[in-house]
């Protein structure tokens, strides 16, 4: 396809500044993150340059849903203001080109990036998130603020809940084994050796006639022979719902493979993964009308400030919406889809009204 001179010029300006901003911004982020964890990197002799490179590459994939729309937003503002200030936008319009035609390269970029995000969510992001989580768990020292709990579903439908995992010693720490609704085991640590799992400082709790749990027995060491029947064959942490592919989440939701607790969480992440790629299109629709207006004095700083504020506010709203939908405070369809629908409707109306 033959492109005209103005099209080549505009595409070159858009693409060059987009990658320049994206590369510089993420390099600063990676440098700050590396300085914060430099001690962990230096002390762990197992880490080499290739591990660090892969970690920050996958970390970029993890943050792409935020970084790419932000880069599109800044690129759109910069290029359109530059065209406007230099008088090139007026010249293009005077040559008979409509605003719709002039703005097409921005939408082509946004659509291409939206497709990239969809492919990433399906094929690249799940493995990237798993790699980042495992890397941090293996090589970073746990923070005193980290109080995460991990759940491991066993083949007999019982569950192991633990706080930390020592891969070298094959130990799970602060463990609860929920064997049934009427029996719970509490352990300080559990050695998950497949040949002979052993619990240390284990307490057996059973439900009494009044419906309360009471401690029945205590053991300094207790061989969990029940686990030797294959319950711990897949003792590795299963892929979390956040790290699942879009297709996997869709199949789990349609075929109802999830528990009542997991269903709203899976639905929230599924809706989030199918809507977030549209954010690149949304930012172009939102900011373009403000950058193509004809004024003597262009409010460049104010436009950047308000655009960044709106971008951060929208992401904060989405984070709150995910939390509310996960806890079933609000339906995931309302919490996640409604903000996108409202913003697309308002900004699309303003955009088409402005470019006509």
Give the tens place of pLDDT for each residue, 152-182: 767 677 888 888 877 677 788 999 999 888 9
Residue appearing with tokens 């633990």 = 162
pLDDT of 98 above 80: yes
Q: Tokens in use for 287?
A: 């900011």
Looking at the DSSP bridge assignments, the partners of residue 116 are: none
CA-based nearest residue to 37, from 169, 180, 143, 196: 143
The pLDDT value recorded for residue 228 is: 47
The C-alpha angle with vertex 51 and arms to 131 and 163, in degrees rounded to 5, equals: 45
Name the pLDDT band for 239 (thresholds 50, 70, 90). Answer: low
- Would you tell me the crossing angle of helices 279-291 and 300-326 to the nearest 10 degrees? 150
Sign of CA dihedral 133, 137, 140, 143: positive
Q: Report the range of poorest mean pLDDT among 221-230, 253-262, 295-304.
A: 221-230
Helix (H, G, I), strand (E, B) or coil at 155: coil
The DSSP line for 262-289 is HHHHHHHHHHHHHHGGGHHHHHHHHHHH
pTM of the predicted structure, to 2 decimals: 0.82
296-341 confidence digits (pLDDT tens):
788 899 999 999 999 999 999 999 999 999 989 999 999 999 999 9
Q: How far is CA 86 from CA 81, 185, 299, in A?
A: 8, 73, 15
The pLDDT value recorded for residue 226 is: 62
Contacts 24+ apart (CB under 8 A), 88-96: 89/292, 90/294, 92/6
183-198 confidence digits (pLDDT tens):
999 999 998 776 778 8
Domain borders along the chain are 5-141+246-355, 156-229
23-67 confidence digits (pLDDT tens):
999 999 999 999 999 888 888 888 889 999 999 999 999 999 999
């Amino acid at each position: 396809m033959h492109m005209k001179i103005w099209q080549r010029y505009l595409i070159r300006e858009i693409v060059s500044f987009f990658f320049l901003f994206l590369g510089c911004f993420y390099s600063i982020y990676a440098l700050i993150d590396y300085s914060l964890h430099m001690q962990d990197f230096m002390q762990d002799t197992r880490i080499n340059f290739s591990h660090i490179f892969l970690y920050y590459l996958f970390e970029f994939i993890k943050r792409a849903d935020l970084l790419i729309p932000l880069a599109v937003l800044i690129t759109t503002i910069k290029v359109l203001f530059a065209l406007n200030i230099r008088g090139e936008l007026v010249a293009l319009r005077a040559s008979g080109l409509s605003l719709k035609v002039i703005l097409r390269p921005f939408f082509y970029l946004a659509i291409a990036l939206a497709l990239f995000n969809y492919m990433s969510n399906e094929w690249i992001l799940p493995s990237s998130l798993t790699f980042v989580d495992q890397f941090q768990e293996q090589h970073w020292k746990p923070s005193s603020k980290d109080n995460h709990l991990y759940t491991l579903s066993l083949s007999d439908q019982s569950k192991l809940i633990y706080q930390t995992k020592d891969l070298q010693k094959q130990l799970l720490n602060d463990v609860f084994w929920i064997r049934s609704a009427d029996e719970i085991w509490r352990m300080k640590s559990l050695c998950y050796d497949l040949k002979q799992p052993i619990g240390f400082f284990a307490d057996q709790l059973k439900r009494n006639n009044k419906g309360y749990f009471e401690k029945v027995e205590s053991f300094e060491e207790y061989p969990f022979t029940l686990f030797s029947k294959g319950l711990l064959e897949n003792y590795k942490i299963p892929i979390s719902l956040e790290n699942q592919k879009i297709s996997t989440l869709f199949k789990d939701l349609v075929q109802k493979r999830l528990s009542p607790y997991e269903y709203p969480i899976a639905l929230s992440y599924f809706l989030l993964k199918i809507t977030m790629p549209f954010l690149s299109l949304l930012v172009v629709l939102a900011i373009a009308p403000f950058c193509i207006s004809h004024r003597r004095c262009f409010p460049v700083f104010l436009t950047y400030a308000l655009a960044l504020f709106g971008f951060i506010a929208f992401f904060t709203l989405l984070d709150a919406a995910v939390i509310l939908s996960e806890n079933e405070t609000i339906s995931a369809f309302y919490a996640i889809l409604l903000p996108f629908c409202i913003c697309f409707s308002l900004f699309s109306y303003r955009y088409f009204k402005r470019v006509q």
